[in-house]
Chains A and B, each alone.
Chain A
Amino acid sequence: GESVGLHLPTLSVQEGDNSIINCAYSNSASDYFIWYKQESGKGPQFIIDIRSNMDKRQGQRVTVLLNKTVKHLSLQIAATQPGDSAVYFCAEKWRNFNKFYFGSGTKLNVKP
């Protein structure tokens, strides 16, 4: 759901390890989900999306998992690189609404 002004949690991983970033979404009627990456001083950038009729979708080095039962979304990044350091947001779109709601975000810190 909407960010409520909380400071961002941070996930620190070693370069080369896999990263898992989690997100709880708010509306069981959401039908479309996106993961965005935001680097410092820039706008959010699309990473990967998934529709509610799917459980899993893979991209290049990234995998998104959707668990509708518990309204949970995760982003897995394989072989994390320093360039992956950024803030990651999940966004959900409610069915029949054309508005995106953003989660509060997770800061990924990749240690060389």
Chain B
Amino acid sequence: NAGVMQNPRHLVRRRGQEARLRCSPMKGHSHVYWYRQLPEEGLKFMVYLQKENIIDESGMPKERFSAEFPKEGPSILRIQQVVRGDSAAYFCASSPPAGTTEAFFGQGTRLTVV
């Protein structure tokens, strides 16, 4: 059973370009979370999704950021018109449909905006 897969591991974008970060949850997991981490800081919640639904996006910036988790395929975190301040590590986690259980994390995508 493969773990949570994120790709790419490293992504470099110029200011103004778009960044697409992908997350394939563990098999059987229908809940996906995205977190952002700046160097030497904690994990900041961005968005919580279930298949085809955004459950909680209270941590997402109002502009330029969007997330989806389609019926088929990975979850995508999309950042439009990136700025230097978007440079960070973005982590995805997944958990099973219900119950009290841990969330499993991917290895993250490190976005660098130049």
Contact = CB atoms under 8 A, between A and B. Distances in A.
Interface string B26-49: 000001010100101111110010
A99 B93 CA distance: 11
B41 A5 contact: yes
Chain B interface size, under 10 / 10 to 19 / 20 to 34 / 35 or more: 20 to 34
B91 A44 contact: yes
Interface of A: 2-3, 5-8, 31-32, 34, 36, 42-46, 49, 51, 89, 91, 93, 97-105
B107 interface: yes
B25 interface: no
Contacts, number: 74
B105 A8 contact: no
A31 B100 contact: yes
Closest A-B pairs by Cβ, 8 of them: A3-B42, A43-B105, A104-B42, A32-B100, A102-B43, A105-B42, A44-B105, A43-B107
B65 interface: no
Nearest to B92: A43
Contact of B103 (A100, A103, A104): A100
A64 B40 CA distance: 24
A70 to B, nearest CB: 21
A46 B102 contact: yes
Contacts of B4: 43
Contact of A42 (B38, B59, B103, B107): B107
Contact of A98 (B35, B45, B55, B107): B55
A89 B43 CA distance: 9
Given A44-B105, A97-B56, A105-B41, 15 more contacts: A5-B41, A6-B41, A7-B40, A8-B40, A8-B42, A32-B101, A43-B105, A44-B91, A46-B104, A93-B100, A98-B31, A98-B95, A99-B48, A100-B45, A104-B41
